[in-house]
Chain A
Amino acid sequence: GEDVEQSLFLSVREGDSSVINCTYTDSSSTYLYWYKQEPGAGLQLLTYIFSNMDMKQDQRLTVLLNKKDKHLSLRIADTQTGDSAIYFCAETPYSGGGADGLTFGKGTHLIIQP
């Protein structure tokens, strides 16, 4: 079945850029997502990218997609203490019906050092 892999932890200094990586196995992945989860909170949609795109930028966030290597990354520029959270990569084939569930990675804990 489909699988999504992420590193469990990333530690960065405040003000530096954070790069969170994700690999996936499903060749039919159409939507790829990044969600943020703060302690005790729900899943906040950060950004998403369609598989026909290579890059998407939204303020401090840059998503890069390498379809050949099935690799997705999320770069957070000028990382702040408020960015401390778990970041989940997720994918769905979105085969046209919209009813497909997302397959999530285990999440990357982003730790900010002062």
Chain B
Amino acid sequence: IVMTQSPVTLSVSPGERATLSCRASQSIRRNLAWYQQKPGQAPKLLIYGASTRAASIPARFSGSGSETEFTLTISSLQSEDFAVYYCQQYDNWPPWTFGQGTKVEI
């Protein structure tokens, strides 16, 4: 299953809303996770099951969607949210596949 994220880069001001998209090449139901990766760091799980926040993830992060279209929304961007975000499907494996990433920049 091919995962396609858009846009490649998203320029947003602090306090604004960011909307990131992820599309699957076939239905993955709601078997999607989102990760955040900051430079030089490991990825961090944000969302699983398309919309369930992982432990300790702030409520400003929300996920939605099903089948082939998914969205990660950051309601009010904080300085620490500028990073690269990846989606990953786990409906049909192996392989477990990631999108190519969306960079959220100032």
Tell me whether A and B are bound partners: no
Contacts from B to A (Cβ < 8 Å)? none
